[in-house]
């Protein structure tokens, strides 16, 4: 949906001028549309990474019989037991889990902000 909305906002004049300049569809895509789409690609990458990183149910179901394959989210869940909670382990695991998300966001922040603001004006 983000890609569709972004490409729908691209003015048709860009495509028409590229065709008039002799660019084919593939060249128009690689040299005009793809560079314009960097903000939306960064935004989608951030959303997909966070969604995948924070997934809980599928890793929980798939690693029931193999605890050594647990993801961080499922591992953090194991700090809460029936008779008590290991709060120090839970806090440390939470910090370890959030650090990669912060790093990826800081790395792609420019594209995320441009994607929210919109880079094509017209």
| pLDDT(25) > 70 | yes
Same domain, 29 and 52: no
121 pLDDT band, cuts 50/70/90, is: low
Q: What is the pLDDT of residue 119?
A: 47
Q: What is the pLDDT of residue 118?
A: 55
- pTM score of the predicted model: 0.64
Least Cα distance to 94 among 68, 71, 72 occurs for: 72
Which of helix, strand or coil describes residue 85?
A: strand
What is the span of the domain harbouring residue 51?
A: 37-122
What's the number of domains the chain is made of?
A: 2
Same domain, 1 and 50: no
Kindly tell me the number of DSSP H helices and DSSP E strands found in the chain. 8, 0
Same domain, 51 and 96: yes
Same domain, 32 and 71: no
CA–CA separation, 74 and 86 (whole Å): 14
Same domain, 83 and 119: yes
Q: What is the pLDDT of residue 74?
A: 85
Same domain, 60 and 115: yes
Same domain, 59 and 104: yes
pLDDT in tens, 41-66: 888 888 888 888 888 888 888 888 88
Q: What is the pLDDT of residue 116?
A: 60
In this prediction, residues 22-44 reach a mean pLDDT of: 85
What contacts 97, CB < 8 A, 6 or more positions away? 53, 72, 73, 76
Same domain, 81 and 101: yes
Same domain, 52 and 84: yes
* Token output for 4: 């569709």
In the block, which residue shows the tokens 């990458």? 45
pLDDT in tens, 89-117: 889 988 988 898 899 888 878 777 766 66
Q: What is the pLDDT of residue 117?
A: 61
In this prediction, residues 25-31 reach a mean pLDDT of: 87
Same domain, 80 and 102: yes
Secondary structure element (H or E) that encloses residue 80, with its range: none
Same domain, 77 and 121: yes
Same domain, 11 and 58: no
Computed over its alpha carbons, how large is the radius of gyration of the chain?
A: 21
């Amino acid at each position: 949906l983000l890609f569709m909305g972004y490409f729908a906002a691209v003015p048709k004049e860009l495509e028409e001028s590229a065709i008039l300049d002799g660019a084919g569809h593939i060249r128009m895509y690689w040299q005009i549309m793809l560079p314009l789409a960097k903000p939306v690609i960064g935004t989608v990458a951030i959303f997909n990474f966070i969604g995948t990183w924070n997934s809980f149910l599928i890793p929980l179901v798939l690693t029931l019989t193999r605890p050594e394959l647990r993801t961080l989210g499922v591992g953090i869940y194991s700090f809460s037991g029936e008779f008590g909670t290991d709060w120090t382990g839970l806090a440390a695991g939470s910090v370890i889990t959030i650090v990669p998300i912060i790093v990826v966001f800081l790395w792609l922040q420019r594209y995320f902000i441009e994607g929210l603001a919109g880079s094509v004006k017209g």
